[in-house]
Amino acid sequence: MCHSFFAKNFRAFEKIEIPKLNKVNLFLGKNSVGKTALLEALYLHLHSNKIRAIQDILVKKDEHLSDGDDYSSVASVVRHLFHNHQLSDFNKEGVVFGEITKQGKPAKNKLTEIKTTIDKDNDEVLEVVKNKDKNHVLLRDDFNDSYRRSRFTRRHRPRSMETNNHLQFVYSSGSGDIVRMWDNIDLTDKQSKVIEALQVIEPNLAGIKFVEQSRHDIDRRVAKASINGEIVPFKSMGDGINRILYIILSMVNAQDGYLLIDEFENGLHYSVQERIWEIIFTLAESLNVQVFVTTHSSDCIKAFGSQWKKDNEKNATMYRINYKDQQHSVMSYDFTDLSDALSTNTEVR
C-alpha cells in the first residue's frame, strides 16, 4: 500500500505532498486545481511499465497530436508532463514521485524520476528511473510510431504476461476496456459482485453478457443485460449504470493493487452514491485494493462521509487540494470537519 505521496515538477505542480494515505482516499477541489494530475502522478508512480504509462496518459489527453505536421517527436510530446510544459535540463532533476518517511523526507527506495539525459551513445533520451531500474526512449524518436509499436506488442502479448492488471484508472468519461475486464473475471465470484453493484440502479437485472456484433466489417463485442427476461443493450440503459459497470469492473480487476477514479460522481444520481461508496469500501477491504478518488461534488462528499462514519473513520482519508499564489497545498479533513469540506466545494447535482 502507498502510505504517503509527493510529486515535484509534474504538470501544474511545482510540488505537492500528501502526508498520509489510507485504504480509501478522497481528494476534493474545484475545477482545474490539479485533481486529475494528482491521479496521473500516482498512476505513473505505481505502474510497473513507466514508458507505457507515460504514453497512455499523453494519448488519453490528446497531447500527442501535432499542429498539422505528421511528425511529433517524443520531446515535443512528453514536455507536457513537466512543470510548465518545459523539459528538464539534461542531467538535472526532472519529474519526481515518491513516498515520505516518518521524518518527512523522501523514502529513497520508493522514488520515481523522469528526466532528460545523455546516454552512453551520446544520444538525448528521456530516462525513467525507479530504484535501480532504468528505461529510456530517444527524444528524437517519433512519438506516434513508438506508441503504435507499443500497442501492437500489447495486443499480441498473452494475458498472463500483462504486467499491470492490478492498477486500474477509471477516467472521468468513457467506459474503458470493459470486455477485457469482464473476461479477466470469467467464471469467478467477482462477476456476482459486479451484478450486485449494477442492481443498485436496476434491481431486476439478472445478468450481463458480451455479444459479438459485426458492423462495417468490424467485429466487436458489446455488453447486454438480462432484465425481466428481456435482453437490453447496456448503452441504452443510461449513464449511471454504465458508470457503475466501469467502476466495479475496474475494482475487481485491481485485486491486491490500486484503483484510481477521476470525478467519481459523473453520471451517478446523488441518491445512489452512498450505496456505491458502501460497495467500494467493502471491496477495498475484501479484495485488498487501495482506492484514490477525486470529486468536486458535495453530494459525493456527503455519500463518502456517511460510509466513512460507518467504517468508524479508520480506513479512509480526505484532502482538499488548494491552489493560491501559484502554489499548491493540501488540507486534511477529519470526519468532524465534514461540514467545512461541504461548504468549500462546488455543488454538482
Run of H or E residues at 300 = helix 298-310
**169: which strand partners?**
260
Are the CB atoms for 42 and 292 separated by under 8 Å?
yes
- Give me the count of residues in the chain: 349
pLDDT tens, 34-44? 999 999 999 99
**Residue 126 DSSP label:** E
Give the integer Cα–Cα distance in Å for 316 and 333.
10
Q: pLDDT digit of tens for each residue in the chain (349 aa)?
A: 999 999 999 999 999 999 999 999 999 998 889 999 999 999 999 999 999 999 999 999 998 886 666 678 999 999 999 999 999 999 899 999 999 988 888 888 889 999 999 998 999 999 999 887 899 999 999 998 888 877 655 554 444 334 456 999 999 988 889 999 999 998 899 999 999 999 999 999 999 988 887 666 555 888 999 999 899 999 899 999 999 999 999 999 999 999 999 999 999 999 999 999 999 999 999 999 999 999 999 999 999 999 998 887 789 999 999 998 889 999 999 877 776 666 665 443 3
**Nine-digit cell at 187?**
467464471
Are the CB atoms for 7 and 16 separated by under 8 Å?
yes
Greatest CA separation for the chain: 67
Give the integer Cα–Cα distance in Å for 339 and 302.
9
